[in-house]
Amino acid sequence: MSKLLSIYVHIPFCRTRCGYCDFNTYAGFDYLKDVYVEAVIKEVSIVSKSIVNAGVVHTIYFGGGTPSLFLPSQLDKILKSIFENFQCASRMEISTEANPTYLTGDYLKSLAGIGFNRLSLGMQSASDSDLRILGRKHTFRDVSNSVGNARSAGFSNINLDLIFGIPLQTLMSFEESLNSALDLAVEHLSLYALSIEDSTPLAIQIANGELHEPDEDLAADMYLMASEKLDGKGFSQYEISNWSRSDGTQCLHNLQYWRNLDYIGFGAGAHSHYAQSRWENALMITDYIDLITKNSSLNHISPASTNLIMLTNNDEISETMMMGMRLTKEGIVKKDFSERFGIKLESIYAKEIAILLKRGLVEWIVMEDQPRLRLTQAGRLLGNQVFLEFIRD
């Protein structure tokens, strides 16, 4: 059986930059859209020739930035280049992120027509005051309209992103946002605690005393409330920040990351993990286009790559543990670990596992006849402390 490969395409274009955003995104570069598309297509062709027998592509994910700022015809060109240059599964998960402000029914019908079958909307909150603090330009009505348009276009797998721990947000106001999201009857929800990144407008506002820092204890209460509510509404938590209504609506692309399997990233700032190596493309749109156009790199798989890191076996083991422990239901399967690395899990981490078991942060369970190690409910709140235990020198 051929191994499975995932492909990520980064679209770093935005109309404005949100106050909390620290992603690799840029505003004011719309004039480069067509040139950027051609650069991505060229990178796809170059990389595909460098990694023969890479595996069967089973997921493609367009992230950003704001992929929905691009015309369906532009996105279609990139998709077709992937189909032409890689071996692709007959049934694939093809996702795109989208800003709910700009989504019309005709646009979404066009996306569905070229192959997209999963949509992820940046709702963030149903509260106008929360959205203003975050620097978001949309309203909850935009989200509701976008979900309705997506349903009419044929999308049956829709995700909404929500943020909790926003300054001035209360437990009640977050619950109201969560209830509003649930009323839209989507298949998937991603809930993220707000992270204050250095030098962002939001970080500057907090430093200047214009806003209070997020309350970590309150954010933890929000997370626990959401977990309990979603469990009662037919959602199953399968990752620290992600819930789905059924196994068929889990994000297969992100599962590729959490299982520490191979993926190739295309576009400015995209990351890749392949054949026990990792690389990152140039961040700036203009630098990325220039490197692809010159195509002068001899040492990296992609000419846009700015670095290449060869991973040791210890690196792969540590990353597999840290990513896999995020999977709250699946965890780390003992059999899969030993088959992948040729050594038993307990042979490497007996001491660390014993400590975490004693602290009540992890547990052994048997599911589908396979013993596995996973986080407890308490461990989900203290995930970073757990992950640090599995770093190997």
User: Residue 164 corresponds to which amino acid?
Assistant: F
Does the pLDDT of residue 373 top 70, yes or no? yes
Gap between the Cα atoms of 51 and 291, Å rounded: 19
What digits encode the pLDDT tens for the residues 179-198?
A: 999 999 999 999 999 988 88
Token readout for 292 is: 């692809």
**Which string of DSSP letters, residue by residue, matches 23-86?**
SS-EES-GGGHHHHHHHHHHHHHHHHHHSTT--EEEEEEEEES-GGGS-HHHHHHHHHHHHHHS
| Predicted pLDDT of residue 71 | 97
User: CATH topology for 324-388?
Assistant: Arc Repressor Mutant, subunit A (1.10.10)
| Predicted pLDDT of residue 37 | 98
CB 72 within 8 Å of CB 38: no
**Number of C-beta neighbours around residue 111 at 10 A:** 26
Does the pLDDT of residue 243 top 80, yes or no? yes
**Average pLDDT, stretch 246-273?**
95
| Predicted pLDDT of residue 316 | 96
Q: What length is written for the chain? A: 393
| Predicted pLDDT of residue 52 | 75
| Predicted pLDDT of residue 299 | 62
Closest Cα to residue 11, out of 47, 46, 89, 63? 63
Q: Between 247 and 103, whose confidence is greater?
A: 103
CB 116 within 8 Å of CB 95: yes
Query: Which residues, 6 or more positions from 350, have their beta carbon under 8 angstroms from its beta carbon?
Result: none
Does the pLDDT of residue 23 top 90, yes or no? no
Segments making up each domain of the chain, as ranges:
4-257, 324-388
| Predicted pLDDT of residue 1 | 54
Does the pLDDT of residue 17 top 90, yes or no? no
306-330 burial code (b ≥16 CB/10 A, e <16)? beeeeeeeeebbbbbbbbbbbbbeb
Q: How confident is the model at residue 306 (pLDDT cuts 50, 70, 90)?
A: confident
**Average pLDDT, stretch 127-131?**
95
| Predicted pLDDT of residue 295 | 85
CB 330 within 8 Å of CB 365: no
Name the class of domain 4-257. alpha beta
CB 65 within 8 Å of CB 14: yes
User: Residue 208 corresponds to which amino acid?
Assistant: N
Q: What pTM, to 2 d.p., does this model score?
A: 0.95
Does the pLDDT of residue 285 top 90, yes or no? yes
Strand partners, 364: 373
| Predicted pLDDT of residue 119 | 98
> Looking at 112-126, 145-159, 379-393, which range is the least confident one?
379-393
| Predicted pLDDT of residue 196 | 85
**Which string of DSSP letters, residue by residue, matches 329-393?**
TT-EEHHHHHHHHSS-HHHHHHHHHHHHHHTTSEEEEEETTEEEEEE-HHHHHTHHHHHHTT---
Mean model confidence pLDDT for the chain: 94
Q: How confident is the model at residue 126 (pLDDT cuts 50, 70, 90)?
A: very high
Backbone torsions φ then ψ of 258, nearest 5 degrees = -65, -25
Q: Between 392 and 317, whose confidence is greater?
A: 317
Q: What's the half-sphere exposure (Cβ side, CA atoms, 13 Å) at 107?
A: 21
Torsion of CA 332, 334, 337, 341, to 10 degrees: 150
| Predicted pLDDT of residue 58 | 98
Alpha carbon separation from 105 to 63, 126, 146, 392 (Å, rounded): 20, 21, 8, 50
